[in-house]
Amino acid sequence: MNVLFEHIETLKRSYQGVSIDEQECRRHLQDAVMDNLQDREESQDSLDRLRTLRDETGFEVSDGLLADIQALENKEIAVQQFRVGEAYAEVILEQEFSCRFHWNENRDARNPKGNKTGADLVGFIEVEDQVLFLFGEVKTSSETANRPPQVMTGSKGVESQLRGLYNDRSKRLVLISYLKNKMRHFPEEHQFRSDFEESQRAYYSSIEYYHLIGVLVRDVDSDERDISPSYGRLKDHVLEPKGIKLLAMYLPIRKEDWIEIINGKAE
């Protein structure tokens, strides 16, 4: 990952543009991004359970069971491009920016083509040795006619969505309750629990710390104007000490090719 431009006011308030070279991008798509989209751990557990049932002595195997085993054995990913952008954003935030998403939200999907509810990113970020709740939004765009692109400035763009997360306390409470519910799936010693408890203390302190992040995933040439005007407006709206960060990710591979690369169908 290479930093193309950045503006850092404090460790909690900044924007940054980064590029990823082609070899690394392909590796991400075929490894960590695919794992995220496929939720490999959960998928493998489901497959193992069905195989055990199939092989159980005396169990009459149905065509439906065999069909579901075959479906789980098929590792091909079939998602919309924006889903790949969301997964890639999580990968980079975890690898490079001390963010943690302990729960794969694909496990909550009832409609694989549906939108995430509440926020695209719900997790934790470690800043200045403090763990905070992280709420964020991700958009993918190839638009070059406008800088920032409309996915940043439109009525359902990143700016509007981050303002909504800042303005609407009830929306944040739903997201915190979501994390609390998922925390129960993990043992006492798991980091999810310590992250949640520390973030909760910070959030309900008299200062009320938490962090907002907006990620723009691009497959076009970089331009600081993609996020700098949006950051200027948001930093004046999201008051300190709340954290606000915008990140522009510039990928060297056209978004139309991402799925084929993930599925090993493109060189």
pLDDT per position as a tens digit, 47-91? 888 888 888 877 888 888 888 887 777 777 778 889 999 999 999
Helices 63-73 & 40-54, crossing angle to 10 degrees? 150
Residue 135, token pair as written in the block: 């709420």
Q: Work out the number of other CB atoms within 10 angstroms of the CB of residue 155.
A: 8
Q: Cα(267)–Cα(259) distance, rounded to whole angstroms?
A: 12
**Residue 82 and residue 142: Cα distance in Å, rounded?**
11
pLDDT at 63: 85
Mean predicted lDDT score pLDDT of the chain: 91
Give Cα separations from 211 to 146, 182, 194 (angstroms).
27, 20, 17
Mean pLDDT, to the nearest integer, of 120-142?
96
Residue 116 is given by DSSP the state: P
CA distances from 118 to 59, 91, 137, 246, 249 (A): 43, 20, 10, 19, 23
State residue 71's pLDDT score.
74
CB 77 within 8 A of CB 259: yes
Q: What mean pLDDT comes out for the span 111-124?
A: 75
Average pLDDT in the 177-198 region?
A: 93
Alpha carbons 253 and 11: distance in angstroms, whole number: 30
Average pLDDT over residues 165-178: 96
* Angle between helix 158-167 and 228-237 (nearest 10): 10
Instruction: Fill in the DSSP letter of residue 204.
Output: T
pLDDT in tens, 102-117: 988 776 665 555 556 6
Q: Match 């090719």 to its residue by tokens.
A: 257
CA distance 148 to 162: 16
State residue 109's pLDDT score: 60
Give this prediction's pTM: 0.88
Q: Please state, in angstroms and rounded to a whole number, the distance separating the CA atoms of residues 138 and 216.
A: 6
d(CA 149, CA 229): 11
Residue 263 has pLDDT above 80, yes or no: yes
Instruction: Find the mean pLDDT for residues 144-150.
Output: 95
